[in-house]
Each structure stands twice: as C-alpha cells, then as structure tokens.
Amino acid sequence: MDTLASQIEGGAQTARVASPEESLLADAVRTAAAEGRVLHIVGGGSKAGLGGVPRGSPLSTSALSGIVDYDPAELVVTVRAGTPLAVLQGELARHGQMLPFEPPDWPGATVGGVIASGISGPRRPFAGSVRDALLGVRLLDG
C-alpha cells in the first residue's frame, strides 16, 4: 500500500486519506515539510471561495471523520476534523442539544473547517465564538 505522502502530486490532485489513521496524515505533512512542499488542507471545501487563492497540494481530511465520544449529560463531544458539521448537529439534535454558536449551514462543511475558519454565525454576541465552545483541540503543524 502506498503511503499517503506518495499520493500527493503537484497541486492538481486532492489526496484522500485512504484510511482514518491520523498517522497517515501526520506522515504526509512531515514528508511535505521535509521536501519543502506546501500543502493546502481541505475538509469539505465549503469555504473555498473565501480568502486568498489557495496554493500548494490539496490534502483532504475527509476520511478523518466520526464522533469519537459523546456524553450528552456532560455536554461534551469529541469529533474528528473531517466530520461533516451536519453529522455532528444531527447527533446533538437527537439528544435535544445544539452547538452554542451558529456556524453557516454550508454543504460539505466539516468540524475542522469550522474551527479553522472561526466563523461563528449570528449568535456569537450572545453565545460566544467557536473557540469559546472548545475544551481542547489536537493540531498537527508539521
């Protein structure tokens, strides 16, 4: 099986994480850093039209998806970066809960993208921002 790093070519191809293993993503980032290549991290691509033109090889976190742990009584949920926002919101709604902030309902939006962009929506003045709702986050910086 090829490593994820070997699947990234130029800027024309989006590398999909073939497995939900975080180690594959970490390997790809380390390899790109060692080779001096720029990566453009992509979740669902829902904010592609915002900001500057992305550069570098696209690297998708879409396979790093899923709710890892959820304790409705404690109001605590652990999710992976590529988890679609709609999946998280659906699970919270099943328990009569919701996110305190109100991220835009863009098709394909992921939890990682919401955190990375910091777009909190119209409830921000009353409920706080995305970062105010985080108890912790694990990041990979190469």
Last residue of a domain, one of 60, 76, 91: 60
Return the pLDDT at 15: 53
Alpha-carbon span 39 to 32, nearest angstrom: 7
Is 139 a member of any domain? Answer: no
**Which residue, among 122, 120, 97, has the nearest Cα to 109 in the 3D structure?**
120
Cβ burial, residue 110 (10 Å; 0-12/13-18/19+): buried
- Same domain for 47 and 28: yes
Number of domains in the chain: 2
Last residue of a domain, one of 23, 39, 60: 60
What does the pLDDT look like over 8-37, one tens digit per residue?
A: 444 445 455 545 788 888 888 888 889 998
What does the pLDDT look like over 80-114, one tens digit per residue?
A: 999 999 999 999 999 999 999 888 888 889 999 89
- Is residue 57 within 8 Å of residue 6, measured between CB atoms? no
What does the pLDDT look like over 31-76, one tens digit per residue?
A: 888 999 888 888 777 776 666 767 788 888 888 899 999 999 999 9
- Same domain for 71 and 129: yes
Domain extent at residue 106: 67-133
For residue 55, the tally of other CB atoms under 10 A from its CB is 9
Is 126 a member of any domain? Answer: yes
- Same domain for 123 and 103: yes
